[in-house]
Structure 1
C-alpha cells in the first residue's frame, strides 16, 4: 500500500508538477491559482518551514526560469476544473494535454470561463 501524504504536501507536489509543465512548454509569464491559502502565503513569503520545504525549494528554483510568476489564492468553487482533475487522479493516472482537454472537464472549463467573464 502506498504512503499517504497530507493535503498540503499534495498541493505543493501538484504546484511543482504544474511549474515543471509550464517551464517545459516555454511559458514565460505565469499566474498560479490554488485553493490552499497557506501554500500561497508561504510561497509568496519565500521561506517555507514545513514538511514540504524540499518541494518548495524545487518550486523556487523552477520559478527562476520564468520572466514573471505570481501565486494567488482562489476559492475552490471558482476552479472546479482543478477539483475534478484532482478527484480523477485518485483512480486514473494523471495526463498532460496541450490542445484539447479531456471530455469530462470541457463543460467545467466553460463554466470557469463564464465566471471570469462576469468579474
Structure 2
C-alpha cells in the first residue's frame, strides 16, 4: 500500500511540474509488474494502482523498472528523514545527505 501511495504521489508531483517523460524505478516488484501489465492488481492497493496506471497513460513516456533495494538507498533515506523531521518538500535542492546516495544509486541502476 505504501509503495502504491508513493507512486501516486510521485506521478502527481511530476504532472504538477509538467513532466511528461518518466522512468520510474521501484524495489517493489509487485507494483512494477502491475504497472507493466496494465494496472492489473488484486491486492488491497488495487484502486491506487488503477489510479496510477490511468495517470501514467496521460504521460508521453512512462517506463516502469524494477531496481534492487540496494540501488534504492535514496528512497530509504528520504523515508528516514521524513520520520524525524517536519514535513517539507525539496524542489530546488536536495538535502546534502542525499547527494552521495544519489550517485551511488545511479551507478548501481546503470550497472543492472
Same fold? TM cut 0.5? yes
CA shift for structure 1 position 58: 1.4
Deviations 1:31-90 (A, max 9, x none): 000001111112211211111011112112211221010111001111211111122223
**Alpha-carbon distance in 2 for matches of 1:29, 1:16:** 16
What are the within-5 Å matches in structure 2 for residues 84-99 of structure 1? 84-99=77-92
Name the counterpart of 1:33: 25
1:23–1:65 contact (8 Å) kept in structure 2: no
Please report the RMSD computed on the Cα atoms of aligned residues, expressed in angstroms: 1.9
Map of 1:51-62 to 2, 5 A cutoff? 51-62=44-55
The 1:94/1:28 distance shift into structure 2, 3 A limit, reads same
Unaligned runs of 5+ in 1: 1-8
Equivalent-residue separation in structure 1 for 2:43 and 2:65 (angstroms)? 19
What is the CA–CA distance in structure 2 between the aligned matches of 1:117 and 1:60, rounded to whole Å?
25
Of 14-23 and 62-71, the range deviating more from structure 2: 62-71
TM-superposed deviation, 1:93: 4.5
For residue 21 of structure 1, give the secondary structure of its aligned residue in structure 2: helix
- Separation (CA, whole Å) in 1 of partners of 2:10 and 2:75: 11
Normalising by structure 1, report the TM-score.
0.81
1:72 aligned onto 2:50: no
Name the TM-score, length of structure 2 as normaliser. Answer: 0.85
- Aligned residue pairs: how many? 111
Distance 1:33 1:94, change over 3 A: farther
